[in-house]
């Protein structure tokens, strides 16, 4: 009997889409499902701030919304993969490159971990060197439209080479740490420290 995942891969091939773009255990969807922990925040851009901290920067930085949108704009079109097994192809994100946001804080050579926080205590850890080598940005729009509140407005992290829980919604703080073993909220609670979708690193012990 053909499995659901096998049928979905066959459908991609029939549409002329390379099934190799789909990580193992995933299915492609045209929807953009909403998944998050806690309530959607009510944000006032006049008082909104994004702060940069941690022990692996030269100086702390605080951005207002106007400061942030004055940085050089960036746009990327990428596939995203949620740990709950859906993937969405060719999403066009607009915002600012993460490296440009961090640069004024003076990241130190021994920075190992980026810890990204929303304003309500949720965080995710990411390997800093890997972020520099891959696509990573802070985004305020997707497919030409401002982010919806459910999807992280006004600002979210977008790190498409890792499972999408790493792309923190409602972004309010970024911290660079020398410690390579700093963990975020879900990583403390059973999710994989790294989260590579092509290695199916969903949960503790998933090291295929």
Answer yes or no: is pLDDT of 190 > 70: yes
Token readout for 22 is 């789909």
What residues form DSSP beta bridges with 57? 107
Nearest to 207, CA basis, from 87, 180, 198: 198
- Given a contact cutoff of 8 angstroms between Cβ atoms, the answer to whether 192 and 202 are in contact is yes
Does the pTM of the predicted model rise above 0.75? yes
Average pLDDT, stretch 5-25? 81
- Given a contact cutoff of 8 angstroms between Cβ atoms, the answer to whether 68 and 88 are in contact is no
Answer yes or no: is pLDDT of 9 > 80: no
Close Cβ partners of 49 (under 8 Å, ≥ 6 residues apart)? 62, 63, 64, 172
Quick check: helix, strand or coil at residue 102?
A: helix
Answer yes or no: is pLDDT of 2 > 70: no
pLDDT averaged over every residue in the chain: 93
Average pLDDT, stretch 1-13? 70
Kindly report, residue by residue over 98-119, the tens digit of the pLDDT. Answer: 999 999 999 999 999 999 999 8
- Given a contact cutoff of 8 angstroms between Cβ atoms, the answer to whether 122 and 37 are in contact is yes
β-pairing verdict for 123-127 and 156-158: unpaired
Other CB atoms within 10 Å distance of the CB of residue 174: 25
Candidate from 26-30, 128-132, 155-159, 168-172 with smallest mean pLDDT: 26-30
Kindly report, residue by residue over 144-153, the tens digit of the pLDDT. Answer: 999 999 999 9
Confidence of residue 208 (pLDDT cuts 50, 70, 90): low
User: If phi over 0 gives left and psi between -120 and 50 gives alpha, with beta otherwise, what is residue 170?
Assistant: left
In terms of CATH, what superfamily is 4-33+46-181?
Oxidoreductase, molybdopterin-binding domain (3.90.420.10)
Kindly report, residue by residue over 161-184, the tens digit of the pLDDT. Answer: 999 999 999 999 999 999 999 999
Answer yes or no: is pLDDT of 201 > 60: yes
Kindly report, residue by residue over 65-97, the tens digit of the pLDDT. Answer: 999 999 999 999 999 999 999 999 999 999 999
Domain ranges for the chain, please list them.
4-33+46-181
């Amino acid at each position: 009997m053909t499995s659901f995942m096998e049928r979905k891969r066959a459908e991609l091939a029939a549409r002329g889409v390379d099934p190799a773009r789909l990580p193992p255990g995933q299915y492609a969807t045209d929807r953009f499902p909403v998944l998050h922990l806690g309530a959607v925040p009510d944000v006032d851009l006049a008082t909104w701030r994004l702060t940069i901290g941690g022990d692996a920067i030269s100086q702390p930085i605080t951005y207002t919304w106007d400061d942030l949108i004055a940085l050089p704009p960036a746009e990327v079109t990428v596939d995203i993969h949620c740990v709950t097994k859906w993937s969405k192809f060719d999403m066009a994100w607009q915002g600012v490159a993460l490296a440009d946001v961090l640069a004024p804080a003076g990241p130190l050579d021994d920075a190992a971990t980026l810890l990204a926080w929303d304003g309500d205590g949720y965080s995710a850890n990411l390997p800093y060197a890997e972020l520099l080598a891959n696509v990573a940005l802070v985004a305020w729009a997707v497919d030409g439209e401002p982010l919806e509140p459910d999807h992280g407005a006004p600002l979210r992290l977008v790190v498409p080479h890792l499972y999408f829980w790493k792309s923190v919604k409602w972004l309010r703080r970024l911290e660079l740490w020398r410690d390579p073993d700093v963990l975020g909220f879900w990583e403390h609670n059973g999710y994989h420290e790294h989260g590579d979708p092509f290695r199916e690193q969903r949960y503790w012990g998933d090291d295929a």
